[in-house]
Amino acid sequence: MRWTPGGRSDNLEDRRGASGGGGFRGGGGGGVKLGLGGTVILLVLSLIFKRDLLTEFTGGVPGDAMAPAAQQAPVADAAEEQMVQFVSFVLDTAQASWHTLVPGYQDARLVLFRDGVQSACGDASAASGPFYCPGDQRVYVNLSFFDQLDRQFGAPGDFAQAYVLAHEIGHHVQHLTGTEKAMRSAVQRNPAAGNQLSVAMELQADCYAGVWAHFAAREGIIEPGDLDEGLGAAAAVGDDRLQQMSTGRVNPESFTHGSSADRKAWFRKGINSGDPRSCDTFGQGR
């Protein structure tokens, strides 16, 4: 991507120095100890189900036993500062595009954390992966996930990282436009459709990430190879690929985010159209 390091976004909250929720019990806490293989499986499943299964399984500290993390001063970590400025750039450019697309768009905030964090949606550890919380309109990211995206999931490159953040901003768009609320109501009426509706939500967020990529290309931010990096990241986090990695089996009925092929297809659809109206994953366009 073509970008120039230039400071931090006004919508950035740096909590890397805080000890938030989602920590592990130490000493005689009674938590279950896992080998490396079991840990990897729970990390992958946490990404699939957007839950911190690693902390739950090993006996994490309950959310109500944790004091709220105070806002910290920006962390002076030279090794991560360029990444902080990069995610700031992606955050600001993505939200600038949505200001032109959604009347009355309100900015989300991006929270950086390390071992654990508290949100209005509950406690989370790094094992949860990036997530959006509609309760406080914040995207939560542990920067180490991007290294994991490269080494563990085989999706390297700065645009792969940008895709992840743009996808979470897509969930913010769904919250602002009422899609997220409508989906929750639909699940309450028909719990059996929960997984199907979850897949539609995630694929729409992929499409919305593509809409931003369309704008980024028009503004000259995209370099040769960037879109392939983004498509590779979308495929890398498909339910079928993650299930195959974690259990050796694929069960489409348990999908919550969509297959690798579907995630790539909807991301590409947003790129090609640049129009959020093309992202109707709930209708006949699926």
The whole-number pLDDT of residue 279 equals 96
The whole-number pLDDT of residue 19 equals 58
Helices (H), 178-259: 179-189, 194-218, 226-236, 239-247
The whole-number pLDDT of residue 50 equals 54
The whole-number pLDDT of residue 201 equals 94
The whole-number pLDDT of residue 102 equals 95
The whole-number pLDDT of residue 183 equals 92
C-alpha neighbours within 13 Å on the C-beta side of residue 98: 28
Q: Which residues of the chain fall below pLDDT 50? A: 21-45, 48-49, 53-72, 285-286
Q: pLDDT tens across 75-94, in order?
A: 667 778 888 999 999 999 99
Contact 159/221 with Cβ under 8 angstroms?
no
Using CA atoms, how far residue 275 sits from 129, 153, 160, 167, in Å, is 28, 29, 21, 15
Q: Taking the model in full, what pTM does it have?
A: 0.79
The whole-number pLDDT of residue 145 equals 84
